């Protein structure tokens, strides 16, 4: 990882990231609908009535589901623990990565957009059937195609809300990478900026270290080793990986060094 920082910034498009500090005044009014602090939290979308309304108001969602031959059935039973566990974990890991970035890179992070996207990135799984989400074994080709729709569904559910464009694009593309080999499809001018790479890495680390119906939890060392292969392949930023490693070392009392 001996590349100069300016070279890495050019290579991974970090210079193109617009950094904008967002401050929201706290308003302690009794009417929650008028409380700007409360209304700015991503948890406002983790509500059955809100999600149902958003899904029913966007015909594009039905079109996406028809592509993979599944019915528009809302799976709130699996969504709630997903938000409380995995999505909260991804938000915490993203925050930890930010805090461990070099200061010169930290200035390019849109923390509000990134942390909101970290919490909301998998909300589209409310439309993925439980038998696929909880399958105890490898997904077949058709099931994989359905599962890969969740990031696009997350975007479609939330795109007509007051979330900003940067947050929405992070949600849609959280399974993409610098080599454009992820999903959903992106054009050649797509750039996996610093914010997206943090989200993608946090999501993968969380998923690897969680126990899932189809696998046991990997240790932090195992998870970092797997992610390091993506770094060497040019999919993820080495400075982001270093920040993740530092965060994991501090929170897990390990001292893993990969070279």
Q: Annotated active-site positions, please?
A: 125
Nearest to 60 by CA among 184, 170, 180: 184
According to DSSP, the residues that pair with 215 across neighbouring strands are 212
CA–CA dist 199, 154 (Å, integer): 15
- Closest by CA position to 193, among listed 221, 166, 224: 166
Rounded to whole angstroms, how far apart are CA atoms 191 and 214? 32
The dihedral sign for the CA sequence 166, 150, 43, 206 = negative
Radius of gyration of the chain (CA): 18
CA distance 16 to 33: 36
The structure tokens listed for 152 are: 């696009």
Q: Which of 82, 77, 204 is nearest to 154 (CA)?
A: 82
Enclosing H/E stretch for 241: helix 238-252
Six-digit token string for 215:
């696998």
Residue 19 DSSP label? P
């Amino acid at each position: 990882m001996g590349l100069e920082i300016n070279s890495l910034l050019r290579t991974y498009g970090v210079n193109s990231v617009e950094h904008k500090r967002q401050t929201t005044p706290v308003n302690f009014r009794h009417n929650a609908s008028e409380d700007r602090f409360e209304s700015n939290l991503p948890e406002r979308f983790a509500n059955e009535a809100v999600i149902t309304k958003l899904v029913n108001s966007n015909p594009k969602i039905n079109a996406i589901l028809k592509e993979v031959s599944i019915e528009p059935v809302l799976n709130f039973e699996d969504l709630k623990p997903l938000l409380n566990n995995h999505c909260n974990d991804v938000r915490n890991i993203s925050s930890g990565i930010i805090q461990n970035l070099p200061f010169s890179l930290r200035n390019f992070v849109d923390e509000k957009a990134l942390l909101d996207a970290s919490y909301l990135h998998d909300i589209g799984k409310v439309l993925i059937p439980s038998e696929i989400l909880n399958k105890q074994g490898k997904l077949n080709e058709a099931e994989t195609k359905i599962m890969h729709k969740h990031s696009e569904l997350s975007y479609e559910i939330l795109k007509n809300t007051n979330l900003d464009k940067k947050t929405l694009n992070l949600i849609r593309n959280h399974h993409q990478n610098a080599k454009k080999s992820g999903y959903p499809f992106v054009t050649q001018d797509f750039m996996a900026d610093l914010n997206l790479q943090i989200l993608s890495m946090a999501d993968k680390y969380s998923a690897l270290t969680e126990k899932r119906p189809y696998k046991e939890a990997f240790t932090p060392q195992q998870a970092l080793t797997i992610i390091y292969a993506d770094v060497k392949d040019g999919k993820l930023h080495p400075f982001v990986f270093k920040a993740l490693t530092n965060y994991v070392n501090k929170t897990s009392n390990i001292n893993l060094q990969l070279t």
